[in-house]
Amino acid sequence: MNDAERRGETAAAPYYERLAPFLVFSAVILVFLPALKNHFVNLDDDKQILACVMCRGLGWANLRWMFATFYQGTYMPLSWLSYALTYEIWGLSPFGYHLVNVLLHAANAVLVYFLSLRLLKAALPKTKGAALASGAAFAALFFALHPLRVESVAWASERRDVLSGFFYLLALIFYLKAQSRPAGPSPSKKWLAAAFVSFALSLLAKGIGITLPGALILLDIYPLGRLDWRVRSWLSPRRRAVLAEKIPFFALSLAIGAAGYFAQGSAVASLRAYGLSARTAQSSFGVLYYLRKTLIPVRLLPFYPIPAGIGLLRPPFAWDFLLVMGITCGVVLGRRRWKSGPVLWAFYVLTLSPVLGLARFGNLLVAGRYSYLACLGWAVFSGGCLACAFNAYSASLALGLLVALGGLTWKQTQVWRDSQTLWRYTLSYDPSIAAARMNLGTALMDAGRLGPAALELGRAAALAPRDYDVRFDFGNALSKEGKTGAALRQYRAALALAPRSAGPYLGMGAALYDANRFVESREMFAAALKILPDNLIALVDSGNDCIREGRPGESLAFYRRALKAAPDSAAVYNDLGYALAMESRYQEALRYFNRALQIDPSSAGARQNRAKLLQIENHGR
């Protein structure tokens, strides 16, 4: 810290330090403008935004759900709350969700600027102010304009990355402010408390920042100099006080980490299913992957599946492991000549550690969004390099690099334009990714292009014959094409892979119903209801089956159960009203038609049924 900070003085910052944040913010907005034209994609957006009815309001029931749910295997109440606030303003317009993401990312770039400025002032006390401000601005823009950030910003449901990152960066800045008191090692309790609250908010947005307590210790080592690498020296009273500050941070990190592990449930692979060799191989590959893509940010795909037979004895994983070990030994041995090296490397590996595969969640080898916080150290280091060698030539090179990164990011942002664009881009680089073919197939199916959809899903099934989702979606496409026999075969294959899943029974029921095979259809819906008694589709279709066979009285029980499962469904209110009208219970039916129109004024079915019912009543009078 400089002398003014250590004396607690608040001298006005030079004009270039005040101007730089506005330039950084504006540059990030400009480069990410294409994201505002993007749509939702069928990669979590459909589940976490479009299908998440509890994120469409701020009532007590909604708030309770947000802070209690582990929906989709994550605990992120603050992110759910941000979705609800976005919905209150923009509804389900993709523009609003993307705009908030871009604004949050631009705000994060400004925070990186202030964080870098503090770190560079502490690490480079002899460097002039203009050079430091330029280095901090370059660090912020290198961080924000790098194509590796696109996945976290242009993907609507990755709001959790930018929101969590916002509070994580605030926690780092507040921690550094806490250490700027004029005398002694004791930090400012006010700023330390602010850092803790920010850390808590970061974890409530996404648990990826659980390693922050370790990052604070690294800052204490360098550039703050409150600790050194000799762990045994931490036992002195003064060093113990420095470590004691972190106890609340570690306690909170442990609690959220345990909650996240619990949330993943069956998605956590056991050591027997995914051995130590595979975990080490994945971790080594991941550590080097983000370094490679930081240096050469091309061919950034949204999906990198874990290859079969991954292990340390297979190339390139063996070479990656040896290289990681070599880099680690190099920075440790060279710590006297390059003081920041061990801290940078340790911060990078530490921040990546939750997603490296040591504790395997899901089936991804790597993902660009995992680098959002981990590559922060390299951005600050690049800013420090510019500050140390600041002149017209280095500034020109830095500007050229930022323009190149911005151009790549502008282009990469448009890859996320919509589902078809995203998955065609992915398959253009790797046609063997079954998940990409499946998602492209479902996107084509949603667009009504049933023939191409079935073709893509058939290819996906050939690539991944034991994938339940692929088989089920392939069955859906064939069913919509009217190919009942082929659809039933796919549904049965899906059922063999997941015997306790209701989806294949529902699919078979719908396909049989469309083929006028009503008795078999009813059996399938009944089987689905045994597995999921509150399944909306099975309940409604069972009610419809009763109506078709002239048994409206029996349909009422199904529709009422469906209404409990979906209390805000205009379609269910309309179906229930129709069944009551067939039973000549006109006043009750009218109430349900009116309720359906209150929920959805554009419901043509409810409007027509209500009009017919009023005609019947008027004729009776």
- pLDDT at residue 463, as a whole number: 95
Query: Residue 8: CA atoms inside 13 Å, Cβ hemisphere, count?
Result: 7
- pLDDT at residue 184, as a whole number: 47
The pLDDT tens digits for 125-155 are 888 888 999 999 999 999 999 999 999 999 9
- Give the contacts of 258 (CB within 8 A, at least 6 positions apart): none
pLDDT band at 12 (very low <50, low <70, confident <90, very high): low
The pLDDT tens digits for 565-611 are 888 788 888 888 888 888 888 888 888 888 888 888 877 887 888 88
pLDDT band at 329 (very low <50, low <70, confident <90, very high): very high
Asked if the model's pLDDT at residue 6 lies above 60, the reply is no
CATH topology of domain 431-532: 1.25.40
The pLDDT tens digits for 160-184 are 999 999 999 999 999 999 987 544 4
**Domains 431-532 and 537-621 fall in the same CATH topology:** yes
Domain boundaries, the chain: 13-415, 431-532, 537-621
Q: Confirm or reject CATH 1.25.40.10 for domain 537-621, answering yes or no.
A: yes
275 vs 281: CA distance, rounded Å: 10
- pLDDT at residue 498, as a whole number: 92
Asked if the model's pLDDT at residue 4 lies above 60, the reply is no
Q: Which residue reads 């708030």 in tokens? A: 63
DSSP for 377-429, please give it: HHHHHHHHHHHHT-SHHHHHHHHHHHHHHHHHHHHHHHHTSSHHHHHHHHHHH
The model carries a pTM of: 0.88
* Partners of 305 in beta bridges: 364
The mean of the pLDDT values for the chain is 90
Report whether 378 contacts 405 (CB < 8 A). Answer: no
